[in-house]
Amino acid sequence: MNTTDITPARGLEALRAALAGQVFVPGEAGYDQARQAWNLAVDQRPAVVVEAGSATDVAPAVRFARAQGMRIAPQGTGHGAGPLEPLDGAMLLRMTRLRTVHIDPAARTARAEAGALWQDVIVPAAEHGLAALAGNSPNVGVAGYILGGGLGWLARRYGLAANSVTAAELVTPDGDLVRADAGHEPDLFWAVRGGGGIGVVTALEMRLYPVGELYAGNLFFPIQRAAEVMHAWRAWTDTVPDEVSSQGRLVRLPPAPQLPEALRGRAFVKVEAAYLGNPGTGAELMKPLRRLRPELDTFATIPPPALSRLHMDPDQPMPFQGASAFLSDFPAAAIDALVRLAGPDANTPLASVEVGHMGGALARPAPNGGAQPRIDANYLLTAVGAITAPDLAGPVRAHVKAVKDALGPWHAGYDYYNFAETPAPASAVLPPAAYRRLQQIKSAYDPDQMIISAHPVWPARP
Ligand SMILES: Cc1cc2nc3c(=O)[nH]c(=O)nc-3n(C[C@H](O)[C@H](O)[C@H](O)COP(=O)(O)OP(=O)(O)OC[C@H]3O[C@@H](n4cnc5c(N)ncnc54)[C@H](O)[C@@H]3O)c2cc1C
């Protein structure tokens, strides 16, 4: 399609006629459903929603937006809608219908269209004994997760998911479909691997890893034991190999019927861990924490797709607010501060306050890596609360901030891109050198700031 085909006067009708997908504007049936993000706390009100029906819809949609002077917010599920700036006057370009995934078992790669969810990749990959670097939820989108880095259960062994990407297909803000890989468009290839969206990604290709045995599970302890268990978990993380990824968490579970009765409506301190290896060694590695006699121990041999259930994230869309901070360390004083704010004596509306163990492959620069070549931190703090009633929004925000502030002395200087749920520039969620290179790339490819990404990059001044 030629941009001159679409003039402001004929705009929408011509766009509709050109697309396999659908177009919605405010007031039309379908608009409210099409604009709804997975995070129900976010009320996005774009001037137009385009639901791409095929990858070939993306270029005409981008050219339409350019012709109209509209900015574009590409979106898959909307799990990451929290930090987005208001979409007034903008096009929300939804990729949710593009879910085709192709697994190449011989090459050990996957090609996922930009609307694919992780479950679309991990289930067919496992049929070939392969695992993708997915995270805590099978329903999170592959594209958004990878554009923000992608921290999953195999991260200490294989690094961020972004650094296993081998190619991206994307439509530039000029409306050109390009392939970015090791031999083409080096700047775009670098940027999509953890630097957010410079264009609209239509597909990603990534390496898969042979994963035979996995030993993983949860140890639940009553929250009254928060200090003891968090200190023990922290000490244990110094002893484990890269094949072990884990988190120490303080959780308050809802009285939800889908939870086992023994867990419903209760608060726990828990350790979640996954070991990439045989169950005998896994059980040996877990011994020091099991000796603490958890109330419930779910460790078992599991297939790779079951990793995405380990963290017990909600399946259905929900309203939530969260924040994160990379920590250079998580010493005794930091643990005590956390337990004061989220432990047994805390009056907190937060559902989960957790600390993840970084290091391993995450600490080493990925060969030819992208915008997040390594994680320059040893731990990751994440705090999140459900906003199940409007009057909870303020308290949840305040408590999330209080937890983050309390661990300020150990802040590694930036937050995790994918867990920064409030508006923040990309400079707050990327290392400084990466941000500076992104600014140059943004100046070259998107000087007019057409693409609205989760965390904005302001073009470098000449
Ligand atoms: C329940 C839950 C569990 C999570 N678990 C993990 C985890 O284990 N590890 C982890 O790293 N993160 C995790 N996250 C965070 C998640 O990775 C981010 O929210 C991520 O942005 C989600 O990607 P998405 O495509 O589903 O969301 P979206 O909101 O659709 O996308 C997020 C952003 O990505 C960009 N984007 C998406 N698609 C495109 C595209 N096609 N082209 C260009 N830009 C695009 C846009 O800037 C968009 O605003 C979790 C989030 C939730 C809510």
Q: What is the pLDDT of residues 96-143, one digit of tens each?
A: 999 999 999 999 999 999 999 999 999 999 999 999 999 999 999 999
Residue 9 has a pLDDT of 44
**By three-state DSSP, how is residue 146 classified?**
helix
- CA dihedral (83, 85, 87, 90) in degrees, to 10, reads -120
Residue 258 has a pLDDT of 84
Tens digit of pLDDT for each residue in 37-58?
999 999 999 999 999 999 999 9
CB 104 within 8 A of CB 110: yes
**By three-state DSSP, how is residue 449 classified?**
coil
Give alpha helix (H) positions in 57-194: 58-68, 118-126, 142-147, 155-158, 186-192
Report which residue type is found at 147: L
Residue 10 has a pLDDT of 60
- pLDDT above 80 (res 459): no
| Mean pLDDT of all residues in 65-69 | 95
Q: What is the pTM of this model?
A: 0.96
Q: Is the CB of 201 under 6 A from ligand 1?
A: yes
b/e code 235-259 from CB counts within 10 Å (16+ = b): ebbeebebbbbbbbbbbbbbeeeee
Tens digit of pLDDT for each residue in 286-299?
999 999 999 999 99
pLDDT range class, residue 443, cuts 50, 70, 90? very high
Q: Is the CB of 352 under 6 A from ligand 1?
A: no
* Lowest mean pLDDT segment, chosen from 6-20, 78-92, 177-191, 392-406: 6-20
CA of 5 to the centre of ligand 1 (A): 34
Q: Is the CB of 313 under 6 A from ligand 1?
A: yes
Per DSSP, what are the bridge partners of residue 113?
Answer: 203
- pLDDT above 70 (res 149): yes
Tens digit of pLDDT for each residue in 252-267?
999 988 888 999 999 9
H or E segment and range at residue 24? strand 22-24
CB 322 within 8 A of CB 421: yes
Cβ atoms within 10 Å, residue 33: 10
Sort 376 into a burial class: Cβ within 10 Å, 0-12 / 13-18 / 19+.
middle
CA of 361 to the centre of ligand 1 (A): 22
Tens digit of pLDDT for each residue in 204-244?
999 999 998 899 999 999 999 999 999 999 999 999 999 99
- pLDDT above 90 (res 412): yes
- pLDDT above 50 (res 2): no
Percent of the chain with pLDDT over 90: 94
Atom of ligand 1 nearest to the CA of 419: 15
Residue 3 has a pLDDT of 38
Within 13 Å of residue 200, how many CA atoms lie on the same side as its CB?
Answer: 34
| Cα–Cα distance, 194 to 155 (Å, whole number) | 14
Q: Is the CB of 200 under 6 A from ligand 1?
A: yes
CB 193 within 8 A of CB 368: no
Per this entry, what is the length of the chain?
462
Phi then psi dihedrals of residue 410, to 5 deg: -110, 10
Q: Is the CB of 141 under 6 A from ligand 1?
A: yes
Look at ligand 1, atom 53, and give the residue with the nearest C-alpha: 79
Report which residue type is found at 373: P
Tens digit of pLDDT for each residue in 319-373?
999 999 999 999 999 999 999 999 999 999 999 999 999 999 999 999 999 999 9
- pLDDT above 50 (res 83): yes
Percent of the chain with pLDDT over 70: 97
Per DSSP, what are the bridge partners of residue 109?
Answer: 104, 207
CB 130 within 8 A of CB 138: no
Of 194, 134, 142, nearest to 368 (Cα)? 194
Higher pLDDT, 259 or 27: 27
CA of 121 to the centre of ligand 1 (A): 15
CB 189 within 8 A of CB 248: no
H or E segment and range at residue 221? strand 214-222
| Mean pLDDT of all residues in 447-452 | 95
CB 203 within 8 A of CB 179: no
Q: Is the CB of 418 under 6 A from ligand 1?
A: yes
CA of 140 to the centre of ligand 1 (A): 6
Residue 1 has a pLDDT of 36
